[in-house]
């Protein structure tokens, strides 16, 4: 990518330039590397700053419940795809997530399958789409790759185990949770769900909160609001 190419070019330029000044390559190359790394960090931070502006506007669009506008805002980030590694994949994952939340799984799939493997929520949504299509081999393949790239993310193990249970593969689901506990031995969400499966009970994924809800696999819990005092009094009077 452009930033990397510029940085490597500076390394070579500095090393060669110093050789013309009769400076040994043993000194010129390390000095060039320092200059190259500094340049790469500077250029990366500049691009990151521009992306943060885009992400900030996207958040405002989402808060205003304008998902279509948020998607168009995100697409502006493609302008930097040739400057920095993995930018295109990350934007694809973000856009795919928004289409998934809109329940447009066909369009979401198009973006998510070209997404960034380290974007574990997007990869999880891709696996769910495969599950809903009953393509369980593809589902397993996506989740296995996601676990390797995001081995410290509890929700990845929980989601994979849940999907395996839905496909009647409880034995493998237990193995996945055990695998997760090897990486995250103090994770109560994994251990509690493992105990449930070992006792032939259903997993309770709501312990993951909003992170779980966004997969749209279960209905979000209803929030019971207490009636104001004046309405409570009238309600009691009706049942006397």
Q: Domain span at residue 35?
A: 1-85
Q: Is the pTM of this model over 0.85?
A: no
Contact criterion met (CB below 8 Å) for 3 and 47: yes
- Asked if residue 222 belongs to a domain, the reply is no
CA angle 93, 94, 100 (to 5 degrees): 85
Give the Cβ contact number of residue 38 at 10 Å: 12
Q: Is 97 in a helix, a strand, or coil?
A: helix
- Asked if residue 55 belongs to a domain, the reply is yes
What are the residues whose beta carbons fall under 8 Å from the beta carbon of 199, sequence distance 6 or more?
Answer: none
| pLDDT (tens place) for every residue of the chain, 240 residues total | 554 445 444 444 444 454 555 555 555 555 455 555 555 455 567 767 778 888 888 889 888 988 999 999 999 988 888 777 689 999 999 999 999 999 999 999 999 999 999 999 999 999 999 999 999 999 999 999 999 999 999 999 999 999 999 999 999 999 999 999 999 999 999 999 999 999 999 999 999 999 999 999 987 655 444 444 544 444 343 333
- Asked if residue 173 belongs to a domain, the reply is no
- Asked if residue 204 belongs to a domain, the reply is no
Instruction: Extract the tokens encoding 108.
Output: 């979401």
Supply φ then ψ for residue 108, to 5 degrees: -60, -45
**pLDDT of amino acid 81:** 82
Contact criterion met (CB below 8 Å) for 129 and 97: no
Residue 3 is classified by DSSP as H
Contact criterion met (CB below 8 Å) for 74 and 91: yes
**pLDDT of amino acid 10:** 44
Our count of domains for the chain comes to 1
- Asked if residue 16 belongs to a domain, the reply is yes
């Amino acid at each position: 990518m452009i930033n990397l190419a510029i940085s490597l070019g500076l390394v070579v330029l500095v090393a060669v330039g110093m050789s013309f000044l009769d400076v040994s390559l043993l000194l010129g190359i390390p000095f060039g590397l320092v200059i190259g790394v500094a340049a790469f960090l500077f250029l990366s931070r500049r691009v990151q700053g521009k992306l943060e502006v885009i992400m900030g506007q996207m958040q405002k669009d989402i808060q205003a419940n304008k998902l279509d506008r948020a998607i168009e805002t995100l697409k502006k980030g493609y302008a930097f795809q040739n400057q920095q590694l993995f930018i295109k994949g990350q934007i694809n994952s973000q856009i795919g997530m928004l289409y998934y939340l809109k329940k447009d799984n066909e369009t979401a799939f198009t973006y998510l399958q070209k997404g960034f493997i380290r974007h574990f929520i997007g990869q999880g949504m891709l696996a769910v789409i495969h599950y809903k299509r009953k393509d369980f081999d593809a589902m397993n393949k996506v989740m296995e790759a996601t676990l390797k790239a995001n081995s410290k993310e509890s929700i990845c193990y929980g989601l994979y185990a849940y999907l395996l249970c839905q496909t009647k593969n409880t034995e493998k689901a237990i193995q996945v949770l055990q695998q997760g506990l090897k990486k995250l031995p103090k994770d109560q969400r994994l251990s509690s769900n493992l105990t449930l499966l070992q006792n032939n009970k259903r997993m309770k994924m709501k312990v993951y909160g909003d992170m779980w809800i966004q997969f749209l696999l279960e209905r979000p819990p209803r929030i019971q609001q207490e009636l104001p005092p004046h309405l409570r009094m009238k309600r009691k009077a009706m049942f006397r």
